[in-house]
Amino acid sequence: MVEVALIDKRFRSVVHLEKNMNNTQLTLTQIFGALMRQKAKGLLAFLIVFGLVMALFLVWPKSYGSEGKLHVQMTRTETNLSPVVSSNGQGMGISIQDTRETEIKSVEEVLKSRAVLEAVVKKIGAKKILENSFSGLLPSLSVPSILKGGGSAAGDMSPEEYKELKNIELATNLLDESLSVHNTKKTSVISVYMKANSPRLAQEIVNEIISETRKVHQKMHGVTGSSAFFAEKVKEADAELEEALAKLEEFREKQQVLSVGSARFTLQEIIGTLEKGIMESGVEVEQSQRQIDTLMKEIGKTPEKIVLETKGVERKSGDDATVEVFRLESERQRLLSQYRATHPEVRKIDARLKQMKSRLGTMKDDRTQSQSTINAVFSDVKMQLVRAETQNIGAKARLKSLEKKLAKARKDAVEMNRAEIQADRLQRDVDDTRKDREMYVAKGREALASLSLDNSNLSTLVVAQQPTFILKHASPRGMLFLPIALILGTLAGLATAMFCERNHLSPSLNEVEVEQILEMPVLVTLPRVYSSRNMVN
């Protein structure tokens, strides 16, 4: 009875286990139960995987970083004179302007250039750069069979030479991958960062990169042969200057003037004086001619002789009044030739003349004896006419002479203008040649100074920060390996527990598995199918 009860109990446990395993998904309770039953194995798997990952972290090749900083100065290299570049096709140098951004970008490209990295590799040694903690465990570099047989692809390259070049290439590629060059915006400082297998090596590599970059940068901004070029240009400019001065001196001797400009200015003053004299002479001719015409009319009206009649005292007064009237009329005509009728002097004469004529009309004629005499007014007008004619002839002669002088002066002015143009051209040639010579002399001094700076190994790339020596490794990072080890260990422990509980978690049990559970022989097992919403028994 006890054995039957035990078999029935084991059978019920198998049926119950099979019923639980036929569920479509594993529950958290099942997983937790499996972990609790296999906790020793799961913990062991977790510790093994965690230890392996941490051991890998300990033996992983360490990389140490070093950082140096360069400051790009915009002084001597911002303007450089190159005799190769020409503005007029005659080898005249011009200034080449480099902006701050352009200069900084150029320095960054030089820092990352393969030529600089290869120079660093050759100076430090490719073997030293490629060396790490796994070097002894990895197989050495094999030599292709084509090199052993002297194939045509490698030419006459020996295996040792191939190995050396291959190591240099690998080391250069490693430096290229490990190098980081960065420039902060709106600054002239460039940061150079490098990783290597030791702090000292990283510092040495950064130091050599900066040194090689400064050398290349110095060669880039130096112009070979500049001093000799400008010295030759100074000699050519001296010869051209002497030739230009000789032409200018010959022209001055031919023109018999020291300065064409001053001579032309003097000639312009003479022309102005002549034009003013011609204008005054023309006015004088016109005035004298008008005076002649007026006097001719007056002579035509004035008698050459006058008859004097005297009869007693009264008649004597009348004769005097008549003479006074003639004199006043002559004076009036003279004034009219110079002034208008409304002039105060003319009005004064008119009033006096009117008064004398009125008095003459009231006088009695008490004499019969007459006497003639030369008219003083006629003589005066005649003398004025002679003076006016003389003045007119002289004014015309002066006008004609001045016109001839003006024509000659204007002709000389035209020739002087042509001479001034030629003199200006010759003087401009002298000035341009002198300026070119001064520029060549100045640039020659700059070239000598630049050559001295190049020879003294001075550069505008100033080391703002020496390469750092940091003992703490940059990679691998422990904070990265620790979560990886925890995750992998947890997954390994869970997988181990699930694997050990695979018989209890299987949806169907075979005969062997049932025998192991019941610890008794089993002929056959029949899986039980449970009903669901979409299935029937």
Note the pLDDT tens digit of each residue in 365-380.
555 555 667 777 778 8
Q: Higher model confidence: residue 119 or residue 299?
A: 119
| 88 and 6 both lie in a single domain | no
Q: Higher model confidence: residue 170 or residue 267?
A: 170
Share of the chain above pLDDT 70, in %: 68
Residue 446 domain-assigned? Answer: no
| 304 and 392 both lie in a single domain | yes
Note the pLDDT tens digit of each residue in 343-367.
888 888 888 888 877 777 776 555 5
Q: Higher model confidence: residue 112 or residue 506?
A: 112
Q: What is the CATH number of the domain that holds 185?
A: 3.30.70.1130
pLDDT, average across residues 259-272: 75
Instruction: Report the SS3 class of residue 162.
Output: helix
Residue 240 domain-assigned? Answer: no
Residue 205 has a CB neighbour count (10 Å cut-off) of: 27
Residue-level length of the chain: 537
Inter-axis angle of helices 312-336 and 376-455, nearest 10: 20
**What is the C-alpha separation between 26 and 219, in angstroms, rounded?**
74
User: What pLDDT score does 391 carry?
Assistant: 86
Give the lowest-confidence range in 81-85, 307-311, 342-346, 461-465.
Answer: 81-85
| 30 and 162 both lie in a single domain | no
| 40 and 82 both lie in a single domain | no
Q: Of 44-58, 189-203, 505-519, which has the strongest mean pLDDT?
A: 189-203
| 277 and 350 both lie in a single domain | yes
| 55 and 76 both lie in a single domain | no
User: What pLDDT score does 93 carry?
Assistant: 46
Note the pLDDT tens digit of each residue in 3-60.
444 445 455 554 444 444 444 455 677 677 777 777 788 888 888 888 888 777 777 7
User: What pLDDT score does 409 carry?
Assistant: 82
| 285 and 374 both lie in a single domain | yes
Q: Higher model confidence: residue 254 or residue 431?
A: 431
Structure-block tokens of residue 59: 């033996």
Q: Higher model confidence: residue 231 or residue 120?
A: 120
Residue 261 domain-assigned? Answer: no
**What is the C-alpha separation between 218 and 211, in angstroms, rounded?**
11
The answer to whether 360 and 319 are in contact (CB under 8 A) is no
Residue 451 domain-assigned? Answer: no
Domain extent, residue 383, equals 272-434
Note the pLDDT tens digit of each residue in 411-441.
877 877 777 777 778 888 888 888 888 888 8
Please give the tally of structural domains in the chain: 3
pLDDT, average across residues 73-100: 50
| 360 and 483 both lie in a single domain | no
Residue 484 domain-assigned? Answer: yes
| 418 and 289 both lie in a single domain | yes
Residue 276 domain-assigned? Answer: yes
DSSP assignment string, 265-293: HHHHHHHHHHHHHHHHHHHHHHHHHHHHH
| 56 and 68 both lie in a single domain | no
Whole-angstrom CA distances from 8 to 11, 14, 456, 509 are 5, 10, 104, 18
Residue 114 domain-assigned? Answer: yes
| 285 and 429 both lie in a single domain | yes
| 478 and 340 both lie in a single domain | no
